[in-house]
Amino acid sequence: MKIELGQDDYLLSKNQASPVFCDFDCLVNAHMLVMGKTGMGKTTFLRRVIQQMHHFSPAPRIHIMDVHGDIDLSGTSSVRFSESTEYGLNPFVVSQDRHFGGVRKRVQDFIATINGCRPIGSRQEAVMRHLITDLYAANGFYADNYKSWVLHDGIDRKYPKRYPTMDDACRYAFVKLKQLIIGSDTQAGRALEELNKITTKLYKINKQLSAPGAKPDGDLLEKAMDLRQKAIKSYKAYIENLETGKELEDFIKYESKEVLKSVVERFENLKASGIFKNQQPPFDPSNPVWHYDITALREDEKRMFVEFRLQEIFSSALERGPVRREDEGMLRDIMIIDEAHLFFREDENNILNTIAKEGRKFGLGLICASQSPTHFSEDFFSNVATKIVLGVDQMYWDNLVRKMKVESKYMQYIKPFQVIGAQMSNKGETRSRFTMVRVPNSRVHN
């Protein structure tokens, strides 16, 4: 599996033809970083790479995350995502793998991705974790029972078992909020809330009576006795009206109306984004190239979409286990990420950093393009095997020279659509050579 980048420019100047290949069988991994400011040919380069990868055998699945709508090549399976389309992603699909999957892992991944795109507070995070875990349990998926993580678990049900959806999460969270606002929809819940209020008042009075130097106060003692009687009555009402046995647990987990209301609003905003839908996108499974047109989404929505989709791909790869090269080749999935600065964070939980570090043995490759070396995380920059320089602004030359350990004079030789810089880390080599490459003059068209 290899891609021809062009001809060695130095040897070509000596009238010696010497093709330069990006050979994934020789490289330490299949990740590629492409740097070039606007007008330097990033889109053209990505198109040429995709067209060559299309002919790999066995063919990996190529996922094109297109933020501008300009990387759609003919012959791809293309789907547009927007608020008005009926298909999207379901963030609550559970991996059945007992080691890498499960409810708890899915909940953690969901919250980590949400936090990365738009952080939530610690109390909101705790309530969201409880809500999603309880939602899974309501649908027959239990965090502590890996046998329940499958859809067909052999249990007879009135309706077929299915994964929860964002619609379900919104409804479930709203029901919990409604219960809190009206004091619960059960008599036991109302009695428990009343008991909690009475106990709080009683605690304050007892604290006053037991304070050092406090004098006996007949009115306070009488009020305390009255509150004790009310507490006993409320506790009795709570016990007599128990229905599910989980009233106390729910009261503890969802005691703050304000926090729960903010989580409900967060779920509603996620639903309104148009990313999360119950219907899966209609990609052609027989076509190796899937084009995700996300131009209609807002910037924060694009970030969430890409991170959730990459998380799905990575989780699926983990479940399948290390790639079997003799049967599958070395690559299962290649992800093309344009405008990568939208998606990178200096965060160990960022899915792009995770794939950069762990994706190779599971057959995953990342090709990320952006305008400057500062747009990529340190984790990705240090782990990527192939670095392509199409031409960056002069203000970034020092940064690039330092990171790539090359001489600054090479930056001057780069010419848009003509000469690019390529640095590749091959297996067994301690130093990566920087090569000036003359690329084909003709641009790739649809």
pLDDT in tens, 40-70: 888 989 999 999 988 888 889 999 999 998 8
Report, as an integer, the average pLDDT of 102-126: 89
What backbone torsions phi and psi does residue 260 show, to the nearest 5 degrees? Answer: -65, -40
- Residue 292 has a pLDDT of 95
Is residue 217 within 8 Å of residue 228, measured between CB atoms? Answer: no
- Residue 364 has a pLDDT of 95
Would you say residue 406 has pLDDT above 90? no
Query: Of the ranges 34-43, 148-157, 340-349, 352-361, which one carries the lowest mean pLDDT score?
Result: 340-349
- Residue 369 has a pLDDT of 93
Cα 71 from Cα 293, distance rounded (Å): 9
How many other C-beta atoms can be found within 10 angstroms of the C-beta atom of residue 157?
Answer: 8
Would you say residue 217 has pLDDT above 70? no
Cα 343 from Cα 365, distance rounded (Å): 16
Would you say residue 140 has pLDDT above 90? yes
Is residue 193 within 8 Å of residue 248, measured between CB atoms? Answer: no
pLDDT digits (tens, 9 = 90+) for 179-198: 777 654 455 555 556 656 76
Would you say residue 143 has pLDDT above 90? yes
| Most confident stretch, 31-40, 203-212, 221-230, 405-414 | 31-40
Cα 307 from Cα 110, distance rounded (Å): 10
Cα 344 from Cα 37, distance rounded (Å): 17
Give, for 397, the enclosing helix (H) or strand (E): helix 397-404
Strands 333-337 and 364-370: parallel
- Residue 336 has a pLDDT of 96
pLDDT band at 248 (very low <50, low <70, confident <90, very high): very low
Would you say residue 249 has pLDDT above 90? no
Percent helix, percent strand, percent coil in the chain, to nearest 5: 45, 15, 40
Give, for 77, the enclosing helix (H) or strand (E): strand 77-80
pLDDT band at 309 (very low <50, low <70, confident <90, very high): very high
pLDDT digits (tens, 9 = 90+) for 254-298: 667 889 999 999 999 999 888 999 899 999 999 999 999 999 999
Structure token pair of residue 239: 């016990």
Position 419: which residue type? V
Cα 202 from Cα 317, distance rounded (Å): 57
How many other C-beta atoms can be found within 10 angstroms of the C-beta atom of residue 123?
Answer: 14
Would you say residue 344 has pLDDT above 50? yes
- Residue 54 has a pLDDT of 86
Cα 380 from Cα 160, distance rounded (Å): 42
Would you say residue 236 has pLDDT above 80? no
pTM greater than 0.85 (yes/no): no
pLDDT band at 398 (very low <50, low <70, confident <90, very high): confident
- Residue 444 has a pLDDT of 41
Sign of CA dihedral 104, 110, 116, 119: negative
- Residue 368 has a pLDDT of 94
- CA distances, 45 to each of 3, 341, 364 (Å): 11, 18, 20
- Residue 185 has a pLDDT of 45
